[in-house]
């Protein structure tokens, strides 16, 4: 059963929903009895075994869990980098490998090319015939995104001239430049210090605002999961079990006030709830891999 936690701390009269505008329709990602095992001489135990799960269209779904629980494996299956051993996995109604054009990816490390400036790094996914835009159009699109993440003055800077937080924002702009329907993120802000992380997280939320884009994010940071997620899934080993499923409804725009949300009673209660669930995953083996509390 999915628990709903509401966090309300906003100016009087504000009624805007926290979640980005979500388009109508069924789930953007569906898994049915999903099984995956890495190749080995004796077949090996499955990393994910019997997972059944839907990901809501237009929502930010955050997956947390200890190292080795299968969360990055699941992200790679969704991205089409791995193939299921058994069961069914559909992304926007098709097999993941056929949906690459609909997906963007933001890894933990920025991966910027040192010989390209910020704007040239952002245009990279549009080059090589992968976009109908002209060279001028590609630059305009990249410049718009860099401005949206607060880097409008740094479009000509090279990676070694940018702070780590700035580099991650360039990486975010690059992930969004092809206007993907689905954004996959693997601990994208994990290497940032606390202050920089809050700034980049706010820029991330602003960039997604009213886009209707679906996001699947992996993180080890429970605070980040609550601040950014519309839904939080807690995974555990063995077999990629879903230990908990929490929906988060935060009234008003989150961007720019993340520091206010962390001091609310609702935030603290959900944080401690998630800590308890994560810690239980070290001592309990659930009866069914896809069952949530």
User: What pLDDT is recorded for position 289?
Assistant: 45
The SS3 assignment for 279 reads helix
Q: What does the pLDDT profile of the chain (293 residues) look like in tens digits?
A: 555 566 544 333 333 333 444 455 689 999 999 999 888 756 678 889 989 999 999 999 999 988 888 899 999 999 999 999 999 999 999 999 999 889 999 888 888 999 999 999 999 998 876 778 888 999 999 999 999 888 999 999 999 999 988 998 899 999 999 999 999 999 988 878 888 888 888 888 988 887 889 999 999 999 999 999 999 999 987 778 899 999 998 887 888 788 888 888 888 999 999 998 888 766 554 444 444 44
Tokens read off for 162: 């940018």
d(CA 274, CA 256): 24
d(CA 13, CA 11): 6
Whole-angstrom CA distances from 151 to 56, 143, 175, 207, 287 are 31, 9, 15, 12, 49
Counting every residue written for the chain, the total comes to: 293
With contact defined as beta carbons under 8 Å apart, do 170 and 122 qualify? Answer: yes
Whether the bond into 46 is cis, omega within 30 of 0: no
User: What pLDDT is recorded for position 280?
Assistant: 79
d(CA 72, CA 97): 17
Q: How many CB atoms lie within 10 A of CB 235?
A: 25
User: What pLDDT is recorded for position 250?
Assistant: 83
Tokens read off for 216: 């699947």
User: What pLDDT is recorded for position 283?
Assistant: 54
d(CA 70, CA 269): 26
What is this structure's pTM?
A: 0.84
Query: What DSSP state is assigned to residue 47?
Result: S
User: What pLDDT is recorded for position 8?
Assistant: 47
User: What pLDDT is recorded for position 17?
Assistant: 36
User: What pLDDT is recorded for position 41?
Assistant: 57
Q: Bridge partners of 90?
A: 30
User: What pLDDT is recorded for position 183?
Assistant: 95
């Amino acid at each position: 059963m999915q628990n709903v936690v509401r966090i309300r701390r906003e100016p009087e009269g504000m009624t805007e929903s926290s979640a980005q505008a979500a388009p109508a329709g069924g789930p953007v990602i569906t898994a049915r009895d999903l099984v995956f095992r890495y190749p080995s001489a004796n077949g090996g135990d499955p990393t994910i075994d019997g997972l059944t799960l839907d990901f809501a269209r237009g929502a930010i779904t955050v997956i947390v869990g200890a190292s080795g629980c299968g969360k990055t494996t699941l992200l790679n299956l969704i991205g089409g980098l791995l193939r299921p051993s058994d069961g069914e996995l559909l992304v926007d109604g098709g097999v993941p490998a056929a949906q690459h054009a609909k997906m963007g990816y933001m890894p933990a490390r920025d991966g910027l090319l040192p010989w390209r400036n910020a704007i040239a790094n952002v245009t990279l996914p549009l080059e090589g015939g992968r976009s109908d835009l002209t060279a001028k159009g590609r630059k305009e699109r990249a410049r718009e995104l860099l401005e949206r993440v607060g880097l409008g003055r740094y479009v000509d800077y090279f990676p070694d001239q940018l702070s780590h937080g700035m580099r991650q924002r360039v990486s975010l702009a690059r992930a969004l430049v092809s206007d993907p329907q689905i954004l996959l993120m693997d601990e994208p802000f994990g290497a940032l210090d606390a202050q920089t992380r809050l700034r980049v997280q706010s820029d991330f939320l602003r960039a997604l605002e009213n886009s209707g884009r679906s996001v699947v994010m992996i993180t080890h940071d429970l605070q980040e999961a609550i601040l950014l997620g519309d839904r939080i899934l807690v995974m555990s080993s063995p077999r990629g079990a879903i230990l908990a499923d929490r929906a988060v409804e935060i009234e008003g725009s989150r961007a720019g006030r993340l520091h206010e949300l962390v001091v609310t009673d609702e935030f603290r209660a959900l944080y401690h709830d998630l800590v308890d669930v994560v810690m239980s995953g070290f001592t309990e083996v659930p009866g069914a891999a896809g069952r949530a509390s």
